[in-house]
Chains A and B, each alone.
Chain A
Amino acid sequence: MEQNVMLNQEESQLSVEGLKVRFFTSKGIVKAIDNLSFSIRKGESYGLVGESGSGKSVTATSVMDLIPDPPGRIIRGKIFINGYNILNDLDRLVTIRIRKPTDVRIKRRKRLMKRHNYIMSGIRGDRVAMIFQEPFLSLNPVMTIGDQIREAILLHSRVEIANSIIKRETLNEDDVSKIADTLMAQPDNFTRKKLIVRVCSQYAIPELAKLFIDLFENSTDKEFITKELLSLVNTKKTGLSLEELEEARNYFLLMDRKHDLSLRLLEAEKQENEKLAEKLHLQIRAINQQLRSDYLVYSLKRRFLRRFIDKPFVEYATGRTLELLMQVNIAGPERVIDAYPHELSGGMLQRCMIAMAFSSNPQILIADEPTTALDVTTQAQILDLMREVNKTYNTSIFFITHDLAVIAEMCDRVGVIYGGNLVEEASVKEIFYNAKHPYTTGLMNAIPKAERRYEKTARLESIPGSVPNLIDPPTGCRFHPRCKFRMDVCSEKKPKLVEIEKEHKVACFLYSDEVENEIEEEVP
């Protein structure tokens, strides 16, 4: 079993193990998530279904480590993103290392928290991105769409931006003629357009895209086009000093490296690998030293002359924003980029959110009921868009919804969550045609189906009862008060999620006798 988990971890982008989330409210402790484990593979799209209040959004938020604390806290579990466990075991770390008076502990906790936040801000949005249920509420009302997308780009892609700007500044005749060649070779206008946009953003000349497109539409003479392109490109060269740009690039490279090292350091500390930790610590120190000596002037400049020094970066980010907006099929991106959220429709805003999420090509996209607040036609468009993006970038999607139709459309595998527990997990086909768990079958029967209208008993089956109160959840199987097949054992013991067929796991005593040990940990 252990080995199995390890294996999963390697091929998976995201894996959650034994997650336990509690909310400490005045009414009592809400046991929002209980021992949840699943993993999402590369390029796969995984759906999590459940009623509202079943803990699906909490799961999504936990994966980003964004549970508001207080009142919530992840009290146990591991969340691996690309093999890094992002959960902060800070309390444990603090107590392991130090058994001294509390103020020292608090100080250390603060320091670790700071480092954790620093690491997380490099992971969020970069490796994992998230889109939310309410596009109207999810965008800052006093910032333009462009500002918000730009912000995401500037946070995570500094090195790439510096590289493209350097590429632009060193663009010469040969390169331009090569570009012209590839563009000429495109079969039709549409693909060429797309390629032009991509090339332009690669070379940090996004504002030229339109002129390029015109050029190719008006002429087929290669010599002429090359000449024109060259002159166009030359007008855009700003004559920024390459030295400065390279300095900027190296600075950001160093920052990225520092982030990476810090991440590994925290990992090493969690595993109590003292030797490795020591080594990483020294490396980080060396980088800090270098930042203080070699890059002192640059970082000071960044601090005080940000507006000037960031100008090429911001320009690039603007171009990239336009490109992203075009990719999510927004008509008139020039207009949208300067619009405020209240000026756009829900569907548009959700597209913008997707554009923002994909600004740094994340490996995992978490979609927390992204279509619930939208009307049906827009829903379909957004789902199409997500599928398309999922294919082109090979991004894993973690899709959370209560809508089984959406799941059927979008997902490869599905987990069914009830009362904070995963009760069934299987491929989409299995779930829809071969559901095992009584709750899942209940859900399936609650879907309105067209053919059923002609049957005599045209009634939808519903599951009796309501979602359990998670402050004082039912004992044993959380579903037993509502279950038709309830047995005596059900209210006493909790069934374990076991694989009963290949790739099909169920937690129910109808299929297996394995019992899960319920241990309620002491919470500090």
Chain B
Amino acid sequence: MELKYFILRRSLVIIPTLMGLTVITFILLWGLGPELIYRGINSSPKVNIPLSQQALILSQNGFSAAVVNGKLVFTNPIGMYFNFVSDLFRGNWGYIIGQPLTAPTLQAIEFYFPNTIQLAVGATVMALLIAMPLGTYIGARPNSASDQVGRIFSLSGYALPAFWLGLVLIVLFGNNGTAGFGNGTSGNTPVGIIPYLNIFPYFGNGTEFLSTTAPKGFFSSTFGQTLPTHIFLIDSLIAGKLNYFVIALAHMVLPVATVTYGVLAGILRFIRAGMVDASGQEFVKTARAKGVPEGQVIKKHIRKNALLPTVTVLGLLISGLLGGVVTVEIVFNYKGIGWLAVQAALNYQAWGILAITFLFGIILMVTNLIVDVVYAFMDPRIRY
């Protein structure tokens, strides 16, 4: 009961944060300037018309702009900010024109975001699955040989940039289309890379591969006009196509492994530190004096306490994860939100950049809220 109010209160805190986020996004918009904003103002902006007319169109859409010294500039920031915010919440996020696709920004995000969710969630789950038992094991044996190995493992996870690790994985395990599942577009093999073991595909999430090998009209016949969740792993299962599922899974291996390593390194370090810290505490002695077998002391008494500090840093790790996802998506040509962000930036898609900034902000807020709630749930000492 009390927890419910706590969640409610925490969610209310989101509102001012959200306002701050819109301010920052708006400052970004201001900085990008009216010309870039104009280019995504509607689905087919006329670029070759006089600046004064462009200013008119902008003002009709809620952006007060004027021509000063032969240049298009924004005026009246206050009114514009409120217009911008109301547009934002009404789902009017402008358009991405041309590269990498032409679509309303929101729709583009709807299309690409599920892929990122698939990658990020997959990596987090994998990292947790590995880090929990591993961290428990090495945390219970501080300074042993296994602890040293674990330390090297997690430090290198910190030190290795994800894009580099991704390239190494491609070199080692990548499959350039000559065997196995293929890559769909073999021409996209990064220059100079000759895959060594030829096992896993490293291009996209599997839909690209299928769209080149599958007969025309494949998607519409298999999944209906739209993919129901946009998460290919789940879509293929919903459609009951096990072979597609396997293909999707194979495409996930390398990107997920790359992202997992970074996240895993962070979690592992914290679980280990938490374990060492907790095992030095007095209640562990009580548990042993009670006759609790050693294995249970570790699992039940020590780990429960060790996970508390770990949960608090999980929020931080997620922000790191988002950053990592961007580069990894580029390396693997994996069409997620990070990929979209880079493409938007490269192609001066102001609306795309704004939207993704805003989206990342929201994701961070939500994950932090979840982390807070989980923490309150786990630690009875937290007063709701």
**A121-B291, A123-B291, A152-B291 given; A340·B380 CB < 8 A:** yes
B330-384 residues at the A interface, CB under 8 angstroms: 378-381
**A121-B294, A342-B381 given; A138·B283 CB < 8 A:** yes
Q: Does A64 contact B (CB under 8 A)?
A: yes
A347-361 residues at the B interface, CB under 8 angstroms: 353, 356
Most chain-B CB neighbours within 10 Å: which of A123, A142, A353?
A142
Produce 1/0 per residue, B277-314, CB < 8 A to A: 00001110111111111100000110011001000000
State which of B291, B378, B381 has its C-beta within 8 Å of the C-beta of A124: B291
State which of B282, B308, B379 has its C-beta within 8 Å of the C-beta of A138: B282
Q: Does A125 contact B (CB under 8 A)?
A: yes
Produce 1/0 per residue, A88-128, CB < 8 A to B: 00000000000000000000000000000110111111100
- What's the nearest-Cβ distance from chain A to residue B303, in Å? 10
Q: Does A166 contact B (CB under 8 A)?
A: no
* Residues in B neighbouring A124, C-beta threshold 8 A: 288-291
* Residues in B neighbouring A66, C-beta threshold 8 A: 285, 288-289
**A132-B282, A132-B286 given; A141·B381 CB < 8 A:** yes
Q: Does A475 contact B (CB under 8 A)?
A: no
**CB atoms of A156 and B291 under 8 A apart:** yes
* Residues in B neighbouring A121, C-beta threshold 8 A: 291-294
State which of A64, A118, A129, A139 has its C-beta within 8 Å of the C-beta of B293: A118
**CB atoms of B283 and A141 under 8 A apart:** yes
**CB atoms of B291 and A117 under 8 A apart:** no
**CB atoms of A130 and B379 under 8 A apart:** no
* Residues in A neighbouring B308, C-beta threshold 8 A: 142
Q: Does A487 contact B (CB under 8 A)?
A: no
**CB atoms of A342 and B291 under 8 A apart:** no
Complex Cα distance, B304 from A139, in Å, reads: 13
* Residues in A neighbouring B381, C-beta threshold 8 A: 141, 340, 342
**CB atoms of A137 and B282 under 8 A apart:** yes
**CB atoms of A134 and B290 under 8 A apart:** no
**A66-B285, A342-B380 given; A140·B291 CB < 8 A:** no
Nearest-CB residue, chain B, relative to A128: B289
**CB atoms of B291 and A138 under 8 A apart:** no
Q: Does A297 contact B (CB under 8 A)?
A: no
* Residues in A neighbouring B305, C-beta threshold 8 A: 140-142
Complex Cα distance, B294 from A271, in Å, reads: 27
**CB atoms of A140 and B301 under 8 A apart:** yes
* Residues in B neighbouring A331, C-beta threshold 8 A: none
**CB atoms of A142 and B380 under 8 A apart:** yes
- What's the nearest-Cβ distance from chain B to residue A356, in Å? 7
- What's the nearest-Cβ distance from chain A to residue B357, in Å? 38
- What's the nearest-Cβ distance from chain A to residue B219, in Å? 43
* Residues in A neighbouring B283, C-beta threshold 8 A: 137-141
- What's the nearest-Cβ distance from chain A to residue B32, in Å? 49
- What's the nearest-Cβ distance from chain B to residue A482, in Å? 32
**CB atoms of A125 and B380 under 8 A apart:** no
* Residues in B neighbouring A130, C-beta threshold 8 A: 286, 289
**CB atoms of B293 and A117 under 8 A apart:** yes
Complex Cα distance, B286 from A64, in Å, reads: 11
- What's the nearest-Cβ distance from chain A to residue B263, in Å? 24
Q: Does A155 contact B (CB under 8 A)?
A: yes
- What's the nearest-Cβ distance from chain A to residue B339, in Å? 41
* Residues in A neighbouring B292, C-beta threshold 8 A: 121, 125, 151, 155
**CB atoms of A143 and B289 under 8 A apart:** no
Complex Cα distance, B308 from A141, in Å, reads: 11
Complex Cα distance, B289 from A126, in Å, reads: 9
**CB atoms of A138 and B380 under 8 A apart:** no
**A124-B289, A134-B282 given; A142·B379 CB < 8 A:** yes
A contact set with B: CB distance below 8 Å? 61, 64, 66, 117-118, 120-126, 129-130, 132, 134, 137-144, 151-152, 155-156, 340, 342, 353, 356
Q: A121-B292, A140-B283, A151-B300 are in contact. List 9 more A-B contacts (CB 8 A).
A: A66-B285, A132-B282, A138-B282, A140-B286, A141-B305, A142-B380, A143-B304, A353-B286, A356-B290
B contact set with A: CB distance below 8 Å? 281-283, 285-294, 300-301, 304-305, 308, 378-381
Q: Report, nearest first, the 3 A-B pairs whose CB atoms are least far apart.
A: A125-B291, A137-B282, A124-B291
29 contacts between A and B (CB under 8 A): A64-B288, A66-B289, A120-B291, A121-B293, A123-B291, A124-B290, A130-B286, A132-B282, A134-B282, A137-B281, A137-B283, A140-B283, A140-B301, A140-B304, A141-B283, A141-B379, A141-B380, A142-B305, A142-B308, A142-B379, A142-B380, A143-B301, A151-B292, A152-B290, A155-B290, A155-B291, A340-B380, A342-B380, A342-B381
